Structure 1
Amino acid sequence: MGRIAFDEMCSTVTRAFVNAGMSEDKALRSARVHTESSLDAVYSHGLNRVPRFVEYLQKGWVDADAEPTLLRDMGPMEVYDGQRGPGILNALTATDRTLELAAQHGLAIVALRNTTHWMRGGAYGWRAAEQGKILIAWTNTESCMPAWGAKDTRLGNNPFVMAVPRKEGPVVLDMAMSQYSYGKLQTTRLKGEQLPYAGGFDVDGNLTTDPVAIEESRRILPTGFWKGSGLAIMLDILAAALSEGSATHQIDGIDQGSCTGCSQIFIAFDPDRLGTSEHLQQAVNGMVDYVNGSQPADPNRAVTHPGQNTVAARMDQQKNGILVDDDIWREVVSLAG
């Protein structure tokens, strides 16, 4: 493992995307989100995902030049077709449009269909909260997780984001409906480590902390067992229904890599427009202080709120450089030419 400065990583990833057919502007905007994800220690959806995204561009599974188009305008709700363009850029467009509509109406929904992998969902939560808005967003995916009680994969792990603004730093929850995402399995495997808790089943049906065994079986564990399974189903149905797009079983039929053709929902609230800003800050500060004041089960580990560890990782890596897997960095440098 080595460390790379933010600007060097961002410019290298940008060159890799330009070489794969993106315009300079789109490549830079996409690369910045990948780099920010690695800065926040979400390597699985940052630098580590770059080679796969380049592969999808080269195969034509992602259209580098596509722009989202408006399908339906219902005032505070709009529906867009992502035209299978770069998922980061589509999601940034959807987030920003949701925030604009929320500023007008107090709350807003943008539904996005026929898009591609948005990489780290938390990127859009941080973006909204840093502009003083509340965001709830999720995406469906191809099937990669068994329904509770099943052996074969029929559900997406359907990442879900909730973000709340706070003057002292936003509170941001970014999670999949699986106990660990496949990206987390990858980063744990690359480190030669075990998961801290059971994350799925091995080929014999035994719960395991071994990321290699879970990747082999493809039986990741729904978070909360049957509850995570149920939430994944409902998020999938709502994403497809509200966007008039594809559900997981239809994304499986597209069969063009991870998330190609997926459906996404962005819901925003503007506390200033709703007249609740002061109360929101009181509520979020009170809850953050209450949680942080918990008696820790492990005296060496503080109890944190969602997003707090992300900020700590960000500050460390801004100062010391972003940790990279040496093999992945060499591959990305090669793609950059």
Structure 2
Amino acid sequence: MFEKGYIDENYVRVSRDELFSFVVKVLMKLGVPKEDAEIVADNLIMADLRGIESHGVQRLKRYVDGILSGGINLKPNIRIVREGASYALIDGDEGLGQVVGYKAMKLAIEKAKKSGIGVVVVRNSNHYGIAGYYALMAAVEGMIGISMTNSRPLVAPTGGVERFLGTNPIALAAPTKDKPFLLDMATSVVPIGKLEVYRRKGKPIPEGWAIDSEGNITTDVEKVFNGGALLPLGGFGELFGGHKGYGLSVMVDILAGILSGGTWSRHVKNTSERHSEVDHFFMAINIEAFVPLEEFKEKMSRMIEELKSSKRHKDFERIWIHGEKGFLTMQTRLKIGIPIYKKVLEELNQIAEMVGVEKLKVKG
């Protein structure tokens, strides 16, 4: 198995079904409709299953706080504002981002089935979890899926020290003869959730992830949270392509924010605030409109095999394909349970006590 069964004493394991049921019960207690609660739970738990701890159930408190503060509309009027055969503009009415995103990508897929391409942009939504979740929805349907979202300002532009850009993730998924190809990445060096994980564990962050309020590269996570900023993909300056990550982040703001009639990252707010103004971009490409699906899958698989069998650096055991580690991790965690950091477990059980549901059952 890809992931060893052993985990250190700071973690416990919880089954996927137990975790899913727990999240659904918590959200329903807060007034979220069952169908919507299941979409949110599936999104969060897919992150944990695939090893993206930063975007998994440790984020549940963020949504609970957003609901309790009134920042999330539990009964949104998610509506189509403009529409054509291959496109649509949706207003999310401040609903849960996962619910808005799920419905928007479903619409993009429906349009792609009829028109070859479906593009759906969304304004007035909330944080939508992992971008790859929506891209994979299209890949399962035999299509290429693209998903992007802007987010609150956390990243300094190249040459700046101020938080201006979001981590603005991009995801692309494509079917193969085996497991789908999945690129799911922030346009910053790392997402803010990674820093939250280090903060919980009381560990310094790797050098090159972020700067302090004066623009100095720092490993002190508290300095980042207190006036510092993440760096764009490529890192500090232009030497290693930091300006390219900066440009990709702006691209997401253009496609998700400005094109939807929404806003750009500097003006996006926290989930717990009213009118957080998060915007999304979704695209589904019907492969059959261009080439036969089986031909596409066969060529994708051949390309991947050629990549994996290309000459390998002596310091690496293998060449990975995007999405492969996450797929193998998911297979293992479905069997032996999802590792949950004990401090996260405590937080989840505090939420359970607050809303009046049973605490999480840990695997023995």
- TM-score by structure 1 length? 0.92
Unaligned segments of structure 2, at least 5 residues: 1-10, 235-241, 357-364
Aligned match of 2:343: 327
Q: 2:23 maps to what in 1? A: 13
The answer to whether residue 146 in structure 2 is matched with residue 136 in structure 1 is yes
Task: Confirm or deny: 8 A CA contact 1:67 1:90 kept in the other structure.
Answer: no
Distance 1:195-1:298 versus aligned 2 partners, 3 A rule: farther
RMSD: 2.2
2:197 equivalent in structure 1: 187
The runs of at least 4 consecutive aligned structure 1 residues that moved more than 6 Å come to none
Q: CA, structure 1 residues 258+39, in 2 after alignment: closer, same or farther (shift >3 Å)? A: farther
Counting aligned pairs with the same residue, the percent is 27
Match of 2:360 in 1: none
Match among 283, 288, 295 for residue 267 of structure 1: 283
Taking the aligned partners of 2:223 and 2:267, their CA distance within structure 1 comes to 28
Structure 2 SS opposite 1:290:
helix
| Alpha-carbon distance in structure 2 between the residues aligned to 1:122 and 1:319 | 22
CA distance in 2, matches of 1:90, 1:245: 15
Secondary structure of 1:173's partner?
Answer: strand
Query: Relative to 1, partners in 2 of residues 1:193 and 1:283: Cα closer, same or farther, differing over 3 Å?
Result: farther
Gaps of 5+ in 1: none
In structure 2, do the counterparts of structure 1 residues 88 and 61 end up closer, same or farther at CA, with 3 Å as the change threshold? Answer: same
Equivalent in the alignment of 2:4: none
- Equivalent residue runs for 1:72-111 within 5 Å: 72-111=82-121
Matched, 1:292 2:302: no
* Preserved contact between residue 181 and residue 321 of structure 2 (Cα < 8 Å): yes
In the alignment, which of 230, 243, 246 is matched to residue 247 of structure 2?
Answer: 230
1:1-337 map, 5 Å: 1-193=11-203, 195=205, 198-203=208-213, 205-224=215-234, 225-252=242-269, 256-257=272-273, 260-297=276-313, 299=315, 301-336=317-352, 337=356
1:129-186 superposed Cα distances (whole Å, 9 cap, x missing partner): 1221101121111211111110111111211111111120100111111000101122
Deviation at 1:30, TM superposition (A): 1.4
Q: CA deviation at 1:281?
A: 1.9
Q: Distance in 2 between matches of 1:205 and 1:296?
A: 37
Once the 2 structures are TM-superposed, how far is the Cα of residue 62 of structure 1 from its aligned partner?
A: 0.6
Instruction: Tell me if structure 2 keeps the 8 A contact 1:77–1:110.
Output: yes
Q: CA deviation at 1:218?
A: 2.8
Structure 1 stretch 171-180 or stretch 279-288: which is displaced more?
279-288
The question of whether the paired residues in 2 share the 8 Å contact of 1:222 and 1:229 is answered with: yes
- Of 100-109 and 215-224, more deviation after overlay is shown by 215-224
Quick one: structure 1 residues 194 and 296, their matched pair in 2 at CA, closer, same or farther if it must change by over 3 Å?
A: farther
Give the whole-Å Cα distance in 1 for the aligned partners of 2:97 and 2:178. Answer: 30
TM-score, normalising length: structure 2 = 0.86
Structure 1 residues 200-234: Cα deviation after superposition (integer angstroms, max 9, x where no partner): 12455333455444334432110021111122112
Residues 326/245 of structure 1: CA separation in 2 closer, same or farther (3 Å cut):
same
Structure 2: distance between partners of 1:127 and 1:205: 40
The SS at the match of 2:259 is helix
| 1:234-264 Cα deviation digits (max 9, x unpaired) | 2202222321222223325x88559921111
Counterpart AA for 2:232: P
Aligned-partner SS, 1:275: coil
Q: Is the 8 A contact 1:145 1:156 kept in 2?
A: yes
CA change 1:234–1:195 in 2 (3 A) is same
Read off the aligned partner of 1:142 and give its amino acid letter.
Answer: R
For residue 183 of structure 1, give the secondary structure of its aligned residue in structure 2.
helix
Moved more, 54-63 or 225-234: 225-234
Give yes or no for contact 1:143–1:153 (8 Å, CA) kept in 2: yes
Per the alignment, residue 237 of structure 2 pairs with none
Q: Distance in 1 between matches of 2:268 and 2:196?
A: 23
Task: Assess, with a 3 A threshold, how the Cα gap between structure 1 residues 296 and 201 changes in structure 2: closer, same or farther.
Answer: farther
Q: Secondary structure at the match of 1:153?
A: coil
In structure 1, give the amino acid aligned to 2:100: N
Check 1:279–1:236 CA distance in 2 against 1; reply closer, same or farther (3 A cut). Answer: same
Q: Size of the alignment, in residue pairs?
A: 336
Quote how far apart the aligned CAs of 1:91 are: 0.4
Deviation at 1:112, TM superposition (A): 0.8
274-283 vs 59-68, which deviates more?
A: 274-283
